[in-house]
Structure formats: structure tokens, C-alpha cells
Structure 1
Amino acid sequence: MSEGSHEFQVHLRVGEAGVGVLDWSGRAPQQAIDEAVSLASDDGLIARGLRRIEVSLPAADVVGRRALQRAGFRLEGTRRQAYALPDGSFDDVVLYARLASDLVYGAGGFTGVMNSVLPRKRLIAHALITDPWDRVCVLETTFKPDWELPGGIVNPAESPWQGAVREIDEELSLDVGLGRVLVIDWLAPYLGWDDAVELIFDGGQLTAEQVDAVVPDPGEIRAVHWLPPDKAADKMAPFARGRMLAAVACRLGGGTQYLERGLPRRETE
């Protein structure tokens, strides 16, 4: 297969345990590359009975990535700055793979590929829980200096409500019924974390007996504190403080507030 004087060739190397490695050399139009990659992949997985075919290529190779995605390959990961460029700089290398068991054709095949390449945003679910004296429950953890509301990161295939309930049970041995969402907050990248979205549910007001029955997880929770909102705010990071106070206001006044970095949208512009 060629374009002008440039020969385009696809190579499939068969390794151990039914795994093949696909690469290519030369140049060709996008459609020709798409067809060659698809044919070589089908040959390896169907005719040769391979279990898996993988491809590594520079992250900036848009043509190659498009061909792989059209052939049903899923993005599996990134090797950061692993490819040396002619100017002495470095580019990331991305790893794609296709399994014999992968759904490739039809709507399910397309969405499976897109699910692997499109952004996935971290989701966090906390709860505003108060005691009979309207004091806010804030947790002093073993892994960071600032205090936080009960809750945590939502697992894959877990709803935000389920994630918050699970986290509160793990942290406090507390089975609490959550109400409506009080706050939606976008968290900007911070201390090595990617950006995320946080929901704060209304965890309600506990009875004195429920407060006494709280048992913190010693591996994660150093102490459980019940403080007036303004005192609790002093112990929290600025963005966490903003969403906690907004949650208190929404519980009292009704509604749900959207924030960015713990602030109303108009204050971030």
C-alpha cells in the first residue's frame, strides 16, 4: 500500500500467551490506514486466534489514533514523555488494545471505544450532617491537615447517593438516610489532583443517641468533631469551607446552589 513514493506497511508480531503487537511504517491517506489496521487486527484476532492485540504510538499521532479507534481499539493508558522528538523534546506515548472478546461493530462497539478515549471526571459525594444543637459534623482525617464533611470519592458504577451512604458507613459506622442535593461544586485541579465535581447531600439532623453511636474508622478518621458552622469553617480548606457554608444556607433557605472552587459562579469570573 503506498502514497506517492512512500510505502505504507502494517506489521503484526505474535508474542506469547496469544498477544500480538501491531505497528506500521510509511504514510498513506487516512482511509487506507483505517482499512489496513482493521484488516490486520481482524486477521490476528480471528484468523490467527490471538487473544489480544496492542499498539503503542505517540499521543500526537492523530491519524494513527483515529485508525485504531475505528478498528475497535480501546485506550488503556499513557506513558508520559516516553517518546523522543527530533527537536529534543518529549511526547507522551499512548497504549491501545483490542481483545478478541471486545464488541467492535454496531452502537455498542462505538460507545465502548468512546468510553475509553473521552474524559472521565472524578465525582465526590459528601453530606451535611448536624446534631440536635445544629452543629456540623466535620472529620479530622489521618491523611490531610484540613477537615472535611463526611463522604468521599464515588466508585465506578456507583451512584453519588450510594457513594455517600457507603463512605459515611465506612467512616462513622452510621447508616444515614440522605435527602436532596444542597450544593454542586466544581473543584479545580489541586495538589496533583485533576479537576472533579462534588455533590453535598442533606444528611439531616441526628438525634443525641445517633451521635453517641458514631464509631469512627481508626485507620482513616483521627477524630469526629461537632462544631457551629463558623467554627467548622475555620478548620477547612477555603474551597471546602465555601461549599459547607453554602450547604448550610441551602438547607435553611431551600434550593440547590452551583459553585466553582467553593464560590458562586459570578465570584469566579
Structure 2
Amino acid sequence: MPSPITVTPGDGVVRLAWTGEVSTDELRREIAEAMTEQPRVEALVDADDATAQRAATWAGLHREGVRRGVGPDGEPRDQIVFARLVTDEPVHEPGGFRSLLNSFLPRKRAISQMLVRDPDGRVLLCRLTYKRDWDLPGGVVEVGESPQVAVQREVEEELGLTIEPRGLLLTDWLPPWGGWDDAVCLVFDGGTLPTAALADVVMQEREIRDVRFCTLEEVDELAADFTARRVRAAVGGHEPYTESGR
């Protein structure tokens, strides 16, 4: 009986393809044989084909990303890119298995922001260049970066201020919105600065148009509704966890 797996050699890569259910053991054998010929083996699996994705994963292929495309009917047809390199640690080794799991388990974007107030209790807000709404200083946490380190870095980059975070005030989950995936926003306590500290601000022109201390009423007026709710929750300090500020 012929194998349901199609093997296509290329320059430095062997591509595998199959339809319907396939034996994981058979797929593993094809991968092992292919890697004696080329340093990389890969498979493109339809994004809605959970069975084929499962087979690729348990055969030891790492999920690398999504290849967006259009099918013959003109409809979107995304494919998951699975691959394995000859240098990858064997799956039966602890490091190899963890690496495999790491390639397909969910990842969530993290955003770190800082709540800085003046002696009158007003909140430091930034007017951003890439959107109309004002927001707390901060930004996206880089891969492998501590959220606490990230918020201090972002404040230094955006405003030229060196402020060491004092602790976590709020964890706010942000649902998918406007083309963004969901994210977790961590709001750290930046303490109190004198109003005159605004004179020391050096704004990053690429991202920041203006910066000022605002009352909570001004935050409601200048910021997006979910940002205003988050600020009020962080200032209040009664809820350690919110969803979109609620």
C-alpha cells in the first residue's frame, strides 16, 4: 500500500505533505529519512486541519508560524509552518521535548505601564504619535524581558526619566480589539514626582507628542475608555485584577 505522505526534496529542505489521517510513526520515519539527505524538513498544514497539526507536532515538527495565503477559490487559506532542523535536540531528551512544547503552546503579549503621580494626585499621561488617545507611559515587554525591567526601560526611552518601579498595582487583561490579539497589561507604581519634573522630560519624537499631569476627570476626557478605567482601578488600588479596566 503506497504511503499517504508525499516527499518533495528541495535545495536544503525536504517538504512533506499528506491528506487525511496519517500514522505518527510513519511520519517520524519519513522525517528521519529526510534528515539524512537535507538539514531541514518542513510541512505546510491547513490552519483548520487539527488532525494533521496534531500528527506533525507529535512526530517532532516544531510549529514555526503561519503562512498566510489565498486558496484556488479566492478565499483566505492560511497554513501552519511545521519544521525540524537536523541540529534540533531529539524529542525524547528533556530539552528537546520542552522545545517542542514551547513551539506550539499559547503565548500572550505583555504590556508594562507606569503610574506616576504629582503631589496633587494627578496622573502622568503621554500623547502618542500613532493614536489620538493619551495613555500611561510604557510599552510592550520584549521576549525574555522582565515586565519590571521593561517598564523602566520604556519610561527612559520615551521620556528620558529614570524611575525605578516600586511594585505592581494592577494586572489588566485586554481582550482582542481592532486587529490586536489579547494581552495582559501590568501597571507598576512609579511613585510621586514634583510637577517641575516635566521640565526634565526628553520626549522620544517618534512616539511621544506631549506629556502632562492630568486629573482623573482629564484622564476620562483624553484617554480611551478602557485606559481611563484602568487608570482609575490602579489609582483606587482596590482590585488587583481587572479585565479591560472593569
TM-score, structure 1 normalization: 0.84
Residue 103 (structure 1) aligned with residue 103 (structure 2): no
Deviations 1:100-136 (A, max 9, x none): 1112322222222222212211111101011233221
Aligned to 1:206: 193
TM-score, structure 2 normalization: 0.91
Supply the AA of the counterpart residue of 2:66: T
Residue 165 (structure 1) aligned with residue 129 (structure 2): no
Deviation at 1:9, TM superposition (A): 3.4
Supply the AA of the counterpart residue of 1:22: L
- Is contact 1:54–1:96 with CA below 8 Å preserved after alignment? yes
Supply the AA of the counterpart residue of 2:59: A
* Unaligned segments of structure 1, at least 5 residues: 264-269
Supply the AA of the counterpart residue of 2:43: V
Deviation at 1:256, TM superposition (A): 5.1
Aligned to 2:244: 261
Please state whether the residue corresponding to 1:167 is helix, strand or coil: helix
Deviation at 1:175, TM superposition (A): 1.0
Deviations 1:150-186 (A, max 9, x none): 0011111011111111111110011101011111111
Please state whether the residue corresponding to 1:144 is helix, strand or coil: coil
Please state whether the residue corresponding to 1:212 is helix, strand or coil: helix
- Is contact 1:60–1:91 with CA below 8 Å preserved after alignment? no
- Is contact 2:195–2:213 with CA below 8 Å preserved after alignment? no
Please state whether the residue corresponding to 2:134 is helix, strand or coil: coil
Please state whether the residue corresponding to 2:156 is helix, strand or coil: helix
Deviations 1:52-77 (A, max 9, x none): 11111222333322221122211122
In structure 1, C-alpha distance between the alignment counterparts of 2:76 and 2:127, rounded to whole Å: 42
Please state whether the residue corresponding to 1:120 is helix, strand or coil: coil
Q: Percent identity?
A: 36
Distance 1:114 1:82, change over 3 A: farther
Residue 59 (structure 1) aligned with residue 54 (structure 2): no
Aligned to 1:78: 66
In structure 1, C-alpha distance between the alignment counterparts of 2:71 and 2:46, rounded to whole Å: 7
Distance 1:158 1:83, change over 3 A: same
Deviation at 1:259, TM superposition (A): 0.6
Deviation at 1:83, TM superposition (A): 4.3
- Is contact 1:8–1:24 with CA below 8 Å preserved after alignment? no
Please state whether the residue corresponding to 1:11 is helix, strand or coil: strand
Q: 1:10 is matched with which residue: 5, 13, 30?
A: 5
Point out the structure with max Rg over C-alpha.
1
Residue 39 (structure 1) aligned with residue 29 (structure 2): yes
Give the alignment's Cα RMSD to 1 decimal: 2.1
Q: 2:17 is matched with which residue: 12, 23, 36?
A: 23
Please say which of residues 113-122 and 195-204 is displaced more in the overlay.
113-122
Please state whether the residue corresponding to 1:170 is helix, strand or coil: helix
Aligned to 2:78: 92
Supply the AA of the counterpart residue of 1:11: T
Please state whether the residue corresponding to 1:202 is helix, strand or coil: strand
Distance 1:111 1:129, change over 3 A: same
Deviations 1:174-205 (A, max 9, x none): 11010111111111111111111111000111
Distance 1:19 1:81, change over 3 A: closer
- Is contact 2:198–2:212 with CA below 8 Å preserved after alignment? no
